[in-house]
């Protein structure tokens, strides 16, 4: 009963904010040109230090991961059929093309994938592609495939955002950060494009935190379109720095909470490999033109 009441209390503010469009932009005393220049420099420095050149050279990569949605709220809002799921992911760099194999749970042995924004499934017992979806953003499994693909390549993806601003520095948990904003269309919020603020560790030059909107999220519990993620425990994998622990929070919880152990859900990477398979594996649907990342 206590758990149920706690969940209801958590859902009340979500209900009342679900109809608003989130805005995470901030003010700055810098001119737009200076702010954009510094922001671009900070992102390019992160891309260099994190080793995206190694990722770009191999083009494809794979990893095993577990996504865990704890508690009653996690059980209601989870993307996958189970609250805790282990996968094998395979992705093509700077696209939205990839596949995932369920390694346990209700869909163990089943495969899902996205190719040129076409979602597909391949059930273990059938072994053939079915349930084609022509790009609908209502599919939670497709959303999960795409969002973690994007998060892993986030600094590189945001490099091309036409709107970038430097919001100065901030201190958090004993570290100093450069805050870099990125979006498309306008700095002001708009319903078509997401906003991001990268918290770049001034010492390591890596992104430790990101606050972001999720305009495409249609989940009634989280459609206030505002979340945050921490990138923790980076490991060097053949020149690319991989964040292996990623707790995700509603709103700016990753910044405001004293500790990060009470997350909304947590995505952990166990094994990561550059290359190792043919790119053609990610393109089982013939005659579809490959689409790179664009907004």
Partnered with residue 120 across adjacent β-strands are 113
Residue 295, domain member (yes or no): no
Question: Is residue 290 a part of any domain in this protein?
Answer: no
- Say what the pLDDT of residue 9 is: 42
Residue with the two structure tokens 């805005």: 23
* C-alpha–C-alpha distance, residues 213 and 226, integer Å: 4
In a domain, 133, yes or no: yes
Q: Would residue 283 count as lying in a domain? A: no
Residue 136 belongs to a domain = yes
pLDDT below 70 — which residues of the chain?
A: 1-20, 134-138, 216-225, 294-295
Sequence-ordered strand ranges (E) for 140-239: 163-172, 175-183, 195-201, 207-212, 227-230, 232-237
Number of domains the chain contains: 1
Strand 232-237 and strand 227-230: the pairing is: unpaired
d(CA 45, CA 206): 9
Scanning 190-290, the segments in alpha helix (DSSP H) are 253-256
Tens digits of residue pLDDT in 112-163:
999 998 999 999 888 788 877 765 556 889 989 999 999 999 999 999 999 9
Q: What is the CATH number of the domain that holds 137?
A: 2.50.20.10
Q: Residue 173: what pLDDT? A: 96
State residue 139's pLDDT score.
86
- Is residue 62 within 8 A of residue 276, CB to CB? The reply is yes
Max intra-chain CA distance, the chain:
60
Asked, for residue 194, whether it belongs to a domain, the answer is yes
CA atoms within 13 A on the CB side of 47: 16
Residue 76 lies in a domain: yes
In a domain, 61, yes or no: yes
Q: Residue 1: its pLDDT value, please?
A: 47
The pLDDT score that the predictor gives to residue 294 is 61
What residues contact residue 59 under an 8 Å CB cut-off, 6+ apart? Answer: 92, 93, 275, 279
Q: Would you say 242 and 54 are in contact if contact means Cβ atoms under 8 Å apart?
A: no
Question: What is the signed CA dihedral for 53, 55, 59, 65, rounded to 10 degrees?
Answer: -170
What domain range includes position 86? 25-277
The residue to which tokens 């994007």 are assigned: 150
In the prediction, which pLDDT does 227 show?
93
Strands (E), 56-117: 60-68, 84-92, 98-102, 111-115
pTM of this prediction? 0.89
């Amino acid at each position: 009963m206590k758990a149920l009441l706690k969940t209801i209390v958590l859902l009340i503010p979500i209900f009342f904010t679900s109809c608003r469009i989130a805005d995470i932009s901030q003010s700055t005393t810098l001119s737009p040109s200076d702010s954009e220049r510094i922001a671009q420099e900070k992102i390019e420095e992160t891309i260099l230090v994190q080793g995206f050149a190694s990722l770009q050279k191999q083009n494809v990569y794979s990893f095993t991961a577990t996504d865990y949605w704890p508690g009653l709220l996690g059980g209601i809002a989870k993307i996958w059929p189970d609250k805790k799921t282990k996968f094998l992911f395979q992705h093509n760099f700077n696209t939205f093309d990839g596949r995932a194999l369920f390694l346990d749970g209700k869909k163990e042995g089943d495969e899902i994938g996205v190719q040129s924004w076409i979602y597909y499934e391949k059930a273990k017992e059938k072994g053939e592609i079915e349930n084609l979806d022509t790009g609908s953003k209502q599919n939670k499994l497709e959303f999960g495939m795409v969002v973690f693909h994007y998060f892993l390549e986030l600094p590189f993806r945001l490099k091309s955002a036409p709107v970038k601003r430097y919001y100065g520095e901030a201190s958090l948990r004993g570290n100093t950060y450069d805050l870099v904003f990125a979006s498309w269309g306008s700095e002001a919020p708009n319903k078509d494009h997401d906003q991001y603020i990268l918290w770049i560790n001034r010492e390591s030059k890596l992104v430790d935190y990101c606050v972001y909107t999720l305009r495409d999220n249609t989940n009634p519990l989280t459609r206030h379109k505002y979340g945050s993620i921490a990138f923790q425990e980076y490991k060097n994998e053949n020149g690319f720095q991989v964040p292996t622990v990623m707790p995700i929070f509603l709103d700016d919880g990753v910044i405001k909470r004293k500790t990060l152990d009470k997350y909304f859900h947590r995505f952990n990477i166990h094994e990561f490999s550059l290359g190792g398979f043919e790119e053609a594996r990610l393109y089982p649907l013939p005659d579809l033109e490959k689409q790179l990342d664009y907004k």
